[in-house]
Structure 1
Amino acid sequence: MDRETRLRRLAFRAWHRGTREADYMIGGFFDRYGEGWSDAELDWFETLIEEQDVDIMAWAIGTQPVPDRFAGPQMDAFRQLDFINIPR
């Protein structure tokens, strides 16, 4: 699959999680950083979004330890939570 198609699919999956909170957190992260990711970073994100939203959100806010397979610079950026833009 070409990169543009892959990015569109990931954007859809990131923004259609099932809860508004997860959409803002995961979708917002993708919107902020996804375009600039390498193929390896896209692989990481694809693997991450296969996990349960409650786990992803707990890793982001620090209520559960981050599994080794997700630890690293991308998770560090995710845990900043400075990309969440909630419309009012």
Structure 2
Amino acid sequence: MTGTTRSSADLDQRRRRNLIRSWRRGIREMDLVLGGFADAHIASLTEAELDTYEELLTVNDITLMNWITGAEPIPAEYDTELFARIRDSNTVFAS
């Protein structure tokens, strides 16, 4: 997979922006984790979940990767149901 497989034609501007941000992270592994999640779920996220997702998108890639792989504990403010869904949908770092 080299990028999004999802069309953004049916998405509102906020969801389109977050889809793009998910695929343009800086570290390819995080592109795949967040981009893959966004492809599958961005259209169905609630406004509150979008708020949470946008907060996650502000965290640097190394930190997110460490949280997803379990190399570092997830701070309580980021340890949300949405983060668990992202972590559980991850196939990039799965063992």
Q: Give the counterpart of 1:76 among 78, 84, 87.
A: 84
1:26 aligns with 2:37: no
Deviation string 1:17-47 (CA, Å, 9 cap, x unpaired) is 1121111011111112211110010000101
5+ residue gaps, structure 1: none
1:47 aligns with 2:55: yes
User: Cα RMSD over matched residues?
Assistant: 1.6
Distance 1:68 1:33 in 2: 23
Deviation at 1:81, TM superposition (A): 3.3
User: Structure 2 length as normaliser, TM-score?
Assistant: 0.78
Aligned length: 82
Q: Secondary structure at the match of 1:44?
A: helix
- The percent of aligned pairs where both chains have the same amino acid is 33
User: Structure 1 length as normaliser, TM-score?
Assistant: 0.83
